[in-house]
Amino acid sequence: MLVLKILARRGPLHGYGLTIHIKQTSREVLNVEEGSLYPALHRMEESGLIKANWATTDKNRRARIYEITRTGMKESDREESRWRNISNAIGRVLKEA
């Protein structure tokens, strides 16, 4: 869900850019390891949620740039809605505990 939301809001990014954005935005609470990120990106690409193209970065390196698809946008919205429902439910349970 985080990757899809970032790509929806920020536009196309390479994998390293995604990890940095997650880390910085979460104030270093979340740290996505490459060993987790790239297999997830591959699964999302196979599922049609994102697409990837090779490009040259600002530092003149080849990198795969990931972009969200229409299907990915719809899934992102569904996942965010589910997350909010679960988060609210957990909050209610914690409040009552």
- Residue 60's domain spans which residues? 2-96
Structural tokens at position 6: 């970032």
pLDDT tens profile 6-17: 999 999 999 999
Residue with tokens 């919205």: 77
Query: Among residues 81, 45, 85, which one has the least CA distance to residue 66?
Result: 45
Residue 53 has pLDDT above 80, yes or no: yes
Question: Residue 74 pLDDT more than 80?
Answer: yes
Structure tokens that stand for 1 in this block: 């869900």
In this predicted structure, what is the pLDDT of residue 20? 95
* Structural domain count of the chain: 1
Report percent pLDDT > 90 for the chain: 93
Spatial contact of 77 and 55, defined as CB atoms under 8 Å apart: no
Q: In the chain, where does DSSP find H-type helix?
A: 2-10, 15-25, 34-46, 70-96
CATH of residue 35's domain is 1.10.10.10
Say yes or no to pLDDT of 97 above 90: no
Tokens found for residue 44: 């999302």
Report the pLDDT value the prediction gives residue 57, as an integer from 0 to 100.
83
Full-model pTM: 0.87
What is the arithmetic mean of pLDDT over 70-97?
96
Q: Which long-range contacts (CB under 8 A, 24 or more apart) does 93-96 make?
A: none
